[in-house]
Structure 1
């Protein structure tokens, strides 16, 4: 009720002032004797009156448009914050840091998506990139993220999660096509599952492979060709998650969208993510937050803050403690990671 009443004065100012200025200009032209004289002085006065009225109208319209733009940005930013909520700093023994930066400064929203959730099947993470950016991408991000947040708990296998995302995207695109044409809409998606022993399984649909940081070594998690992005092509009948080794205690995974590696400087040179990661692991102590800060600082310095695509980064670091087993020392995989809370936690 109070919100409705508060809008009345704003509407009065929006429409009342231009109407009053226009009425004053017309009244001056019709009723003032000076406006009908042909002398130079009368013409100068008449021109000044109409110039003042026109300037006032332009300034008023500009201020109204700026108010509307600020309101749109505020609403879009709130929607983005509610949809792409910050993940917990710790998820089942993994230290998590994530952030995104939209290329659409007018809307403050982007088409990138990410989420990390602990389930009874392991920690499951998604990183995706919707074609395009801005307010039009919010609906697609909502459809994919909403489906992921439900499917990770319901589906025992990673391929079932991906099929749920594919069906949710197809439904969303069908609904959008009723209101507007949808051409070549697609979403790149990377799904990861990290087990209690640190074993990593992945399904990749057109997304860049993340980097695995182990000590001072920085390598891609996998080098196989991904599947096509979701949307244009159906998924194959058989989906087998790709084993990608282990995320041992002290190791980190850096997931990102292609806006990071596509970022260019003033001379057109691309940003080298692997080189920046090598520099990031030299800092001590190494945490997910320091890696994230180092990368964002490097990207913004490289582009001077003028990137042409959305940027999203998600860092997962295994902070689980090691319990030594009876296997021979020095063998990789002889330590069993544990946490103070051995049961996965539902963060929804």
Structure 2
């Protein structure tokens, strides 16, 4: 589409020439010459804009000569108009190029921030293979209100995925606090319960510091997973987040928590102890963690995308191929529309660590 749009200036000049040549001498296509130059300013480089302006002037001048308007006031005024529009087009092209450079700089900074706050997961830790994907709801944004992280610790491999219930810079700040706290506490806290409590305190403190009411609008849903060591055991804490999906053999199943828990940041509303579920991740099985940007993606009729159905169609895919396939399926389902941030983390236990 972008390549075709670059042909617009030449197409307009060609159309203007055809109209001038095939219509009576009283009909002028001056507007098309001007449109060609202005479209070149938006679509082409500076050299392309200047070249378009020069060609538009030459074609217009040739048409006046052809119809015998060599020294008329009409020819002079129209050529001056095209030349003036060319000058304006050159100015606009420089302005747009400057804005484009600024935008690219902002994007580069955003990419650096994303990599610093939420680096890509390691490709492999022992028998575990990882893949992560992140798509922000805002076009061209690099980071939003979802998070994930993987850390290799003395207590085993620990993972988190979360979704901040909020928008704007406050949500991004909560993501930074959540990921930073997790990566530090995962290396220090010997139990998964203590790690969750550390995250809870950090998020509540951040809410108080920022002056927001985290209990009402800024809470974080999340799933924490721990692979404590040899064997296929994994421990899961689900704090109000969409249930992970386990792909094992020919089956796909949701790992619902044995007891529902409130999201992180809302500990004041609960009095029961932390719920830690122990589940097996067999060799060759894959665990999919995701945010509701995937499970609540809607098509034109309002139907939700079903991650379990998507996983069932790609049971034999590795973690990277699985996430690419799920995102492609989701984009087809929604027609390319994005209503929410989307984070996905796939974890596969390989056979004998191969």
Q: TM-score, normalised by structure 1?
A: 0.69
User: Do structure 1's residue 192 and structure 2's residue 264 form an aligned pair?
Assistant: no
Distance 1:289 1:53 in 2: 50
Distance 2:90 2:224 in 1: 56
Matched position secondary structure for 1:274: helix
Which structure is higher in RCO with an 8 Å CA cutoff and minimum separation 6? Answer: 1
- 149, 154, 177: which one aligns with 1:115: 149
Distance 1:187 1:142 in 2: 12
Distance 2:333 2:152 in 1: 35
- 309, 330, 336: which one aligns with 1:299: 330
How big is each residue's C-alpha offset from its partner over 1:53-105, in whole Å with a ceiling of 9 and x where there is no partner? 99999887766655544433332222012211111111231011111111111
Distance 2:245 2:129 in 1: 16
Alpha-carbon contact 1:207-1:226 (below 8 Å) kept? no
Greater helix share, 1 or 2?
A: 2
Residues 137-152 of structure 1 aligned to structure 2 (within 5 Å): 137-152=171-186
- Change in Cα spacing, 1:69 to 1:233, as seen in structure 2 (3 Å) is farther
Matched position secondary structure for 1:264: coil
**Structure 1 residues not aligned, in runs of 5+:** 1-43, 322-338, 341-348
Alpha-carbon contact 1:95-1:316 (below 8 Å) kept? yes
For residue 274 of structure 1, what is the aligned residue in structure 2? 308
- 73, 80, 83: which one aligns with 2:114: 80
Aligned length: 275
- Change in Cα spacing, 1:260 to 1:184, as seen in structure 2 (3 Å) is same
- Change in Cα spacing, 1:301 to 1:133, as seen in structure 2 (3 Å) is farther
- 240, 248, 258: which one aligns with 2:292: 258
Distance 1:64 1:226 in 2: 52
Between 1:71-80 and 1:225-234, the stretch displaced more is 225-234
Distance 1:79 1:57 in 2: 33
Larger radius of gyration: 2
User: Do structure 1's residue 127 and structure 2's residue 161 form an aligned pair?
Assistant: yes
Distance 1:68 1:132 in 2: 28
- 80, 84, 104: which one aligns with 2:138: 104
Matched position secondary structure for 1:184: helix
For residue 71 of structure 1, what is the aligned residue in structure 2? 105
